[in-house]
Amino acid sequence: MGPVCDRTREHLGASDAAIVQMRRKLMSAARELEKNRQAPPGVKNPALYQKHGDQVLLASADSWIEHYAAKMKADYGADKT
């Protein structure tokens, strides 16, 4: 994978909020694993790693929120909204 990058000199903006949030989640999961031997979220459900992005074409009157909630329930068996 190569050396760990020094991110302290990065200049992230508001549009990079998802990157910042993901890094925080990863660091938190790594600390929990080290400190409490708590497995990171999703590790015990390997089916989550088989999921890829979906594309769907909806009519203008259809709710993407309802469609997505139904898809998540069908794929993972739980309401993720």
Question: Structure pTM?
Answer: 0.50
Could you read off the pLDDT of 5-62 as tens digits, one per residue? 888 888 888 889 999 999 999 999 999 999 999 888 778 877 777 777 778 889 999 9
* Secondary structure, 3-state, 54-69: CCCCCCCCCCHHHHHH
Q: Rounded to an integer, what distance in angstroms lies between the CA atom of residue 68 and that of residue 53?
A: 12
